[in-house]
A and B are shown apart, each in its own frame.
Chain A
Amino acid sequence: MLNISGDYIYQSIIQAPIYHLLLEGILFMWVIWLLKRKKINPTEEQPLSAKEQQQIIDHFEPKPLIYNGDSRDEGVEGDESSEIDWGTIDGPAGKYIEIDGTKYLNLATHNYLGFVEEPSILDETERCIRQYGVGSCGPRGFYGTVDVHLELEEAIAKFLNLEETALYAYSFAAISSAIPSYAKRGDVIFADEHVNFAIQRGLIASRSEIRYFKHNDVEDLTRLLNLQRKADLQNPVKAKAIRRFCVVEGIYSKTGLICPLKEISELCLEFKVRLFVDESISFGAIGQTGRGITEYLNVPRENIDFISGSLEQGLGAFGGFIVGSSYVVDHQRISGLGYCFSASLPPMLAGAGIQALKLIESNPQLIQELQNNCEYMDRKLRSLSVFTISGHPLSPVKHMSLKKSFGSRKTDKLLLKEIAFHVRENAKIAVVMPAYLEKEEKTLLPPSIRIAVNRLLKDNEMDDVVTALKEAANVVLSKPDLPDYDEPKSQN
């Protein structure tokens, strides 16, 4: 190789066939062309010309530093519910709630088991504050793990007889991080059309293909699964590369209905679809001992890939969790964005969660009391003639919408708001309308008043609630001079 003389090179080129020389010529030209082409550096920013700079400066319109009260500036457009001023709450939202200095019976916030203001939970919280301080100072993987976090994770896993739990600081973040950590581009997710907003966000963040099936409609889901199977058989190579998921809620927060989990889990097994169940509401609220929808419907938990739950609704603490087999849940510790990149749950709230779980485990009658109240309330509410009640009898969340629409959605909303205020001012009972970002929601349900039942309500208090609602509906709906009321808008 090293003894190259001029003669050798000359000889070689002379010997080279003509096609070879031509080919090398072409390749050489191409190399030159490539080298002479304008270099593109993707990391380098293109400098703006003076004219472009001036254009940007001219178009700049500074926003006011102080919010001027015009919700069109700040809020999401079309979101009228955020414009309703419900007042300012002082103190804890327990059985009673203090709004602007007045005490009301609270049916507005989620406190199913009445654990807000539960003395033993407060004691445990105080103990945790004394021991750990108020914050955890970091994400779970970065000095933010405290022994109570691990204890709570273990307690939840043990409570549900599953292998592992991943604890999140916020239940909205739990499900909306968990879905995109498994489902990626090109995958297919089947989801109920009325899943809550956190799930919807998770579905969007996953970038997967989303197929919504009709609310609690197993047949519609079967139809979609069969379509998918047909497509998979036509293109088996593609079918091998994609994953399929199904996302449902235990009790739907938007409708209060229970999901037919038994049928859905069987379908998912049959069609090899991974199943995620959000038990934000049903955890601690349903089932003989409060273990959620799986216990209530007697579905084996191994058939569900993960269950997500919330400590915010029933348990009077804060945070969310994903519980399932170690194989599934452990993946989130490196790829659940809300888990990795968000400060962990304050230890005092983890302590509250542990105490709340202990209470549920040692007193199963708490669940029974809650379910009795839910059933009683359901029966009473259904006697009201002007409202349609949406919600399973055992669901602590009940939605009351107007049986007969008064024109437009906006009118109905105004009327319901009037009713809610009437109930609040005359009977000292706080009820609320659920707030939705209407432009962002996948499906819009008729406007409703949401009743959140809790364990501490007495029968006569629930009677009072129903009577107050009835009275308020009578007064408001017979009032002729409501704005927008006489002229129903054309849009429905």
Chain B
Amino acid sequence: MITVGGHGEDNPNVSWLNSRGMWLTYSIVVTLLHLFLLSVPFLSIPVAWTLTNLIHNSINFVFLHVLKGAPWEPQDQGLARRLTHWEQIDYGVQFTSTRKFLTIFPIILFFLASFYTRYDPRHFILNFVTLLFVVIPKLPQFHRVRLFGINKY
């Protein structure tokens, strides 16, 4: 277990995505993932793009919108226990830079994937459905909303 200390934050989940160089790191990691997929011999370019998109979106969805709480012990008396990571960012304030970045990034990725798959309907359906999964929960209207009580407690 990691104990919290030193940075004056009850819960580091609130702020670690605001760190300097985070956007660059995020983009580089996704690029590296894409280059790795491209280097696999039997994957064509459209498949590599769709896979990049799928992998990025599933990781984004699981870590920002499914997992709740924090991996360490925050001194907040369990405030974060029922909040997803996305809801913890910046204490839930909407339209901050980090939130904008994390919303726009999958959209740009979707544009790229659509372009490189030449707007193929099968690729489009996969890319678009996963895009909805990562963009809709990020809308301010869905803050702390659990559809049908899924993942509520």
Q: How far is the CA of A1 from the CA of B45 in the complex (A)?
A: 7
Residues 99-141 of B at the A interface (beta carbon under 8 Å) = 100, 103-104, 107-108, 110-111, 114-116, 118-119, 121, 124, 128
Is the CB–CB distance between B90 and A42 below 8 Å? yes
Task: Tell me if A30 and B107 are in contact (CB < 8 A).
Answer: yes
Judge whether A1 and B119 touch: CB under 8 Å. Answer: no
Tell me whether B73 and A334 are in contact (CB under 8 A). yes
Specify which chain A residues have a CB less than 8 angstroms from the CB of B128 in the assembled complex. Answer: 23
| Interface residue B82 (Cβ < 8 Å from any Cβ of A) | yes
A335, B79: Cβ atoms closer than 8 Å: no
Of the candidates B107, B119, B152, the one having the most CB atoms from chain A within 10 angstroms of its own CB is B119
Select B78's contact among A17, A20, A185, A337, beta carbons within 8 Å. Answer: A185
Q: Would you list which residues of chain A between 1 and 40 have a CB under 8 Å from chain B?
A: 1, 12, 15-17, 20, 23-24, 27-28, 30-31, 34-35, 37-40
- Which one, B78, B90, B108, B115, contacts A184 given CB within 8 A? B78
- With an 8 Å Cβ cutoff, the count of chain A residues facing the other chain is 37
Q: What is the total number of residues of chain B having a CB less than 8 Å from a CB of chain A?
A: 38
Tell me how far the C-beta of A254 lies from the nearest C-beta in chain B, rounded to whole angstroms: 26
A31–B93 Cα distance when bound, in Å, is 19
Across the interface, A42 reaches (CB within 8 A) one of B75, B82, B91, B114, namely: B91
Chain B binding surface, main DSSP class:
helix
Question: Hey, which chain B residues are within 8 Å of A27, CB to CB?
Answer: 107, 110-111
B3 in the interface (beta carbon within 8 A): yes
Q: Which residues does chain B contribute within 8 Å of A43, judged by CB atoms?
A: 15, 18
Q: Given that A207-B78, A237-B152 are known contacts, is A35 also in contact with B100, CB under 8 Å in the complex?
A: yes
Q: Is the CB of B97 within 8 A of A12?
A: no
| Shortest Cβ distance from residue B32 to the other chain A in the assembled complex, whole angstroms | 15
Contact yes or no, B97 A20, CB < 8 A: no
Instruction: Please list 22 pairs of residues, one from A and one from B, whose beta carbons are closer than 8 Å in the complex, sorted by A's number.
Output: A12-B115, A16-B114, A16-B119, A20-B119, A23-B128, A24-B111, A27-B111, A34-B104, A37-B100, A39-B96, A40-B95, A41-B97, A180-B77, A184-B77, A184-B78, A185-B77, A185-B79, A185-B81, A186-B78, A238-B153, A241-B82, A337-B75
Q: Contacts A15-B119, A16-B119, A39-B100 known; list 9 others, CB within 8 Å.
A: A31-B108, A34-B95, A34-B100, A35-B100, A39-B97, A40-B96, A185-B79, A240-B153, A241-B153
Which residues of A approach B to under 8 Å, CB–CB?
1, 12, 15-17, 20, 23-24, 27-28, 30-31, 34-35, 37-43, 180, 184-187, 205-207, 237-238, 240-242, 334-335, 337
A-contacting residues of B (Cβ < 8 Å)? 1, 3, 15, 18, 38, 45, 73, 75, 77-79, 81-82, 90-91, 93-97, 100, 103-104, 107-108, 110-111, 114-116, 118-119, 121, 124, 128, 149, 152-153
